[in-house]
Structure 1
């Protein structure tokens, strides 16, 4: 993160906070506590001193300054001004993701739609454009693509594997974790494994990704945090996530952001080889027509 944020980031409320959150895993524990304290106080941080943040994080003043510099700011003052300006459009009312026990179902729907929309709008800011381009190049040249993911990430991998098939890319997403690991080991140089994990620390996914890399395959990580066991294994990391509400299970907003990233990969692949994609899509359409009334 830099204080010279691009124009599109400045227009997206919460984007600076989202990038700070995504960087938590790459920071020393004491600095991570500082960032968590900054995020926890939101736009109110503008009224706080460096000593108050240090006390809230259980660290020293020097650690607060270092944490802000690790995020790309000149220091604490620079960081709190940027965060306040970033979060100011989100205050006035309560955060759209704040759900009260007495909310009606239609209110819940509206609030979830708002928070999900914000997660999607922040994704283009948190995903490194260079990394996205590298991921597309890896996939464009890949003879085979293996999707890795367990738990709530598994449906995303199943969907992506199917859609890759419909544009002419040989892809699979085994549901069983043992099969995932075996298939990962059977990949060859030039093949690609896409590993999807919100935390980036799911043992089965990381182990399978590591096996794929040892087999010579390229690894693309789709995750919510910039430095995790999974991103350490990956050749390319695409980081996007969402600020979650406590009632949502397993980072639903982050899953939506990950779906968006996967869709960007898919459409970019279509653009790199439209002839192949059109032929495969026509064939898939004919097959599916046989299953419709």
Structure 2
């Protein structure tokens, strides 16, 4: 039976996004792309979401040294809400259930430990509301349908890419992971219309990964992205995006973000196993036999 051919990417098409669930998570995901005015408003919400619930739109504008119009546009255009009142209602629901990220109170080691652990928990908690199940199903179908899957990621995303490639092979997917960016680029150019590029990038701004994605797009391959931020060159290049990540600690990329991305890989692997149980069982038996040869 002929294998379905994946359609070429329409450069003008809007990427499919797995929307971030909570408002605080959405602001964090959008933070790098905000204007200076939007960043001041967003930061004020992230620092004290419970306090924002008690403010008027004028008071938030005064607190952030902006205007009422800027606050309203931030709510409607940036967060895609009905307005400031909608923002307050959503923040009230979030703060009532403790969704917001805890921060160290006095800068003690205990506070830092608590903040880091809370960040990891918050990232995983936000993930449940961030996922678009229809997008996940489409991604798993594209991966299973592809002749080849190139898993791309450099820097701190490289270990996640390596794990994803290894686990996809366990399911019978023809997956390859190349550590050298030049080899990634070359492999992407040869994917063709029946190939798929699964790219992973925390910031969505890593040049090597973007180069690989452009090459995959030019080859007509399906492009899938896992990233932490909603708006970036990365999400514009990918046909399908999963937006999931956590905040950073001390200005460094948090391990929590990588934990969330690894969890996304877990989800894709589980969905792929469910999608084709026969192929999965056969591939896992081959894996078990191979691993047994390396046991003492």
TM over 0.5: yes
Q: In 1, are the aligned partners of 2:203 and 2:229 still within 8 Å (CA)? A: yes
The answer as to whether partners of 2:104 and 2:112 remain within 8 angstroms in 1 is no
Aligned partner (choices 261, 271, 274) of residue 271 of structure 1 = 274
> Alignment partner for residue 98 of structure 1, among 88, 100, 104?
104
1:194 is paired with a residue of what secondary structure?
strand
2:91 corresponding residue in structure 1: 83
Kept after mapping to 2: 8 A contact 1:143/1:170: yes
| C-alpha spacing 1:31/1:172, structure 2 compared with 1 (3 Å) | same
Q: Contact between 1:198 and 1:251, CA under 8 Å: does it hold in 2? A: no
Counterpart CA distance in 1 for 2:224 and 2:192 is: 15
TM-score by length of 1: 0.85
| Alpha-carbon distance in 1 for matches of 2:106, 2:158 | 30
Deviation of the 1:220 alpha carbon? 0.3
Q: What is the CA RMSD across the aligned residues, in angstroms? A: 2.4
Question: Compared with structure 1, are the counterparts of its residues 35 and 115 closer, same or farther at alpha carbon in structure 2 (3 Å cutoff)?
Answer: closer
For 1:186, the equivalent position in structure 2 comes to: 190
- Normalised TM-score (structure 2): 0.84
Name which structure has the greater RCO, CA cutoff 8 Å, separation 6+.
2
| CA distance 1:134–1:33, shift in 2 (3 Å) | farther
1:122 CA displacement: 1.3
Q: Which residue of 2 aligns with 1:4?
A: none
Aligned pairs, how many? Answer: 275
Q: CA deviation at 1:81?
A: 3.1
Structure 1 residue ranges without an equivalent (≥5)? 1-8, 10-14
Once the two structures are TM-superposed, the CA of residue 29 in structure 1 deviates from its matched residue by 5.3
Tell me how far apart the structure 1 counterparts of residues 242 and 139 of structure 2 sit (CA, whole Å): 8
